[in-house]
Amino acid sequence: MKKIKVLALCAIVAGFATSCQKDDIANETAPEVASVELSKEHQLAVAAAGVNPFDAIYKTVNYPDGTSKKGILAGTKGFQDIFIALDDLANQALNGDLKQYRTNALVSQGRTIRVVGYTGNGFALTSRMRTGLQWAVNNYNRINTSLTFTLSFAATTNGDMIVYNAGGSGAGGQAEFPSGGRPGKFIQILGGMANQNNNVNEHVIGHEMGHALGFRHTDYAQRRCDGSNEGTAGSIGAVHIPGTPTANRWGQAGLDSGSLMISCFDGSEDGEFSAADIRALEFLY
């Protein structure tokens, strides 16, 4: 059983005031993480898992149930977006690609997915985050798939997708990919999303839910924010979804630039699926 935990980061830089200010384009990283050089052992393990260890850093993710997980965040410096828990590193074997692109692992058909908007102390979603979550869930229920999404707002981690406020000043979020037929459970929404409007919250949360259901980035081969190629991430995979454009580079002709799963956002998003996003979800589920 592959127990690799992968987090795709989708964090916009706070207020577009730092590294992305020039193009007014946000990125999908957590800018506040401190850079720590990996041990040789971990570099080798990450490379063996098919992820580029260059510029990888250590990071601890805190969950609202009080637990936390230390892992390795890999990717281009400043744009790290693949998280591998240390305790799962040895079990990893890298898998696959999504155009719209998907991971190798998907959620089982026909599931009812209990989404929780977390309201507990220290991790509570703000009003705009809650509205964005409600709208995102509505979007997933509106399309024709075998999945059903329920939504409750509570201080519990008993659910299939727990969406919570991870605090900090950055905007964006991160999610885990599916495993064992279940969606990625914890979706972290960065504190700076409190300052984004409802549509942008709908966009970011819907995007993270997309990762939790197995979507890779539509522009994974050349990201909008930094031009980097996320690659197939080894066993995670980047598998083209039939019926959607094959273009996977930002700026490339035919790229579905309106996809919810574009790697970065600029604060003008409407939060809605593109036509190809819907085709992709309806094909997968």
Q: Which residues bind Zn ion (CB under 5 A)?
A: 8, 10, 28
* Of 8 and 25, CB closest to Zn ion: 8
Residue nearest to Zn ion (CB): 10
Query: Least separation, in Å, of the C-beta of 169 and Zn ion?
Result: 19
Q: Which is nearer to Zn ion, 123 or 220 (CB)?
A: 220
Output 26 or 57, the one with its CB closest to Zn ion: 26
Which parts of the chain fold into alpha helices (H)? 40-48, 86-89, 127-142, 198-212, 275-284
CA dist 258 and 224 (Å) reads: 12
Give the C-alpha separation, 175 to 57, whole Å: 18
- Residue among 201, 204, 208, 218 at smallest CA distance from 252: 218
CB of 81 to Zn ion, least distance (A): 7
Cβ of residue 1: shortest distance to Zn ion, in angstroms? 25
Q: For residue 197, how far is the Cα from the chain centroid?
A: 19
* CA pair distance 264, 262, nearest whole angstrom: 6
Residue closer to Zn ion by CB (options 45, 212) is 212
Q: In whole angstroms, give the CA distance from residue 115 to residue 137.
A: 8
Q: Taking the complex as a whole, how short is the minimal distance between the CB of residue 217 and Zn ion, in angstroms?
A: 5
Give the nearest distance from C-beta 208 to Zn ion in angstroms: 7
Quick one: 45 or 193, whose CB is closer to Zn ion? 193
The β-bridge partners of 268 are: none
Q: Which is nearer to Zn ion, 160 or 230 (CB)?
A: 230
Cβ(246)–Cβ(210) below 8 Å? no
Strands 171-176 and 7-12: antiparallel
User: C-beta of 8: minimal distance to Zn ion in Å?
Assistant: 4
Dihedral sign of CA atoms 222, 223, 229, 233 in order: negative
User: CA dist 82 to 74, 159, 163, Å?
Assistant: 5, 24, 19
